[in-house]
Amino acid sequence: MKRFAKLIEQLDSTNKTNQKVAALTQYFLEAPKEDALWSVALLSHRRPPRPVTTKLMRSWASEITKLPEWLFEESYHIVGDLAETIALLVRQEAKGKVPSLSQCIDEIINLKPKQESQKKEYIFKRWKSLNNFERFVFNKILTGGFRIGVSQKLMTRALSKAVKINENILAHRLMGQWSPKTITFEELILNPNPQDQISQPYPFFLAYALEEDFQGKEKVINWHIEHKWDGMRAQLIIRERKSFLWSRGEELITDKFPELDCLANILPNGTVLDGELLPYKDGQIGNFNDLQKRIGRKSVSAKLKQQIPIVIMLYDILEWEGKDIRSYPLMDRQDLLAQLFEKYDGEKIPILLSEVLKFSSWEQVAVEREKAEDKRSEGLMLKDKKSSYGVGRKKGNWWKWKSNPKTIDAVLTYAMRGHGRRTNMYTDYTFGLWEDNNLVTFAKAYSGLTDAEIKKVDQFIKQNTLERFGPVRQVKPELVFEIAFEGIAPSSRHKSGVAVRFPRILRWRHDKKTNDANSLEDLKQLLP
């Protein structure tokens, strides 16, 4: 635990990537294999189940510090992070033996079925046995919120240096569902069993937003262009007559889309396909809101399958006849994909092939981009025809050119404190639109303003608060902002009756007064 806490302190103390990689590499070289495995798990967002609620932790922290709960809560709102708040306030001199990281996590896992009094006794013991930063890391493990500015890609790079295994190979080994409770460092990293990797997906390759000068530098003929379909990115794996469906978030979602099960007996073994899950009925692509009704269900009824049937729109092929072909040029992979689709197209299976679009000028591409909404896509994808299928986000080979967002002018109504370096500032905003003479909440946003603008808005909020609700303030409805969003759909779960996707602040409308903001009816006019 001491070694891991020291690592986290080192990572937290620098913004330099090289220093973080060096610290991680040294840690993986020195740490016992059991601790190294749990470190990989924690840094790739695989955490042990939470044995206690944050409510209990806050109550116990108040008790051990002898602070009234209101004062602890106020401190928590100012700091913005529960683990850090407790670590700062529980000023106990470290006493007792400190367990290793793997031992500590085993204790936390074993804690879950115990009585509340036993949980309290254990956590008090650990708070007293750890120093300040160790206590902070311990609390982070308890709460499950392990964001320390280290991406999985960076962690994989460091691990690659330590174990002398290619970074892309390691990235693949770390994909899928695994747990340090059921696998060893040797089995996962050093010598994985091929049989254990039957269901394992490949890391997804991601695109950057198109740069402004792209068209002036590149020839359209060199680029593979297709629509960026508005669904759920997924990998379909066919191995040993079994099918596995993985989301981009590394969630196994096979059971949620049972209509794809038939592909295990149709497509050849050793096939891995990259595509987009889309609602598809009567020859028409549905909208993302339809898909959401399927995503959130643990089980899918026959009625729901009939109402919202699903297909997978194919982008790429990553494995063919059991061979990893990600290093092949895209145009060669596309030829194989086209052959595969042509062979099975007549069998009426839930598969579509994303159309490769042909253009002779960038002006024609721009015109096609404007058609995206009508085609139920988010815009266009531009891929270098010679590119391999990489790991994660890599600039230069794949670009996304999304449609222009929809916009609306809304009034700031509520604000909440931010996190991290902005814990003392109000940076998380709620916006409303007019309905009759009332402002109805329709979206929350926390990005889009400059640091200077945030300071000015924060000052306004503190000087114009109407009511307080813990960390939230209701403010005088005087500031108008232009809000951008990617999509819009009817929603019974929202007070406004409308749900918008990815809302963010486009600009502060200094030129508009509150009454100039848009109405809820204006928003509904944007519904498809």
What residues are labeled active site? 228
Instruction: Tell me the C-alpha distance between 256 and 296, whole Å.
Output: 9
Instruction: Tell me the C-alpha distance between 144 and 150, whole Å.
Output: 15
Total length of the chain: 528
Instruction: Catalogue the long-range contacts made by 288-295 (C-beta closer than 8 Å, 24 or more residues apart).
Output: 288/230, 288/231, 288/487, 288/489, 288/501, 289/489, 289/490, 289/491, 289/499, 291/231, 291/232, 294/256, 294/257, 295/232, 295/256
Instruction: Tell me the C-alpha distance between 178 and 188, whole Å.
Output: 9
Instruction: Tell me the C-alpha distance between 408 and 122, whole Å.
Output: 52
Question: What string of H, E and C letters represents the secondary structure of 113-130?
Answer: CCCHHHHHHHHHHHHHHC
Amino acid at 231: G
Question: Per the structure block, which two tokens stand in for 472?
Answer: 């939230």
Terminal CA-CA length for the chain: 54
Instruction: Tell me the C-alpha distance between 169 and 151, whole Å.
Output: 17
CB 102 within 8 Å of CB 2: no
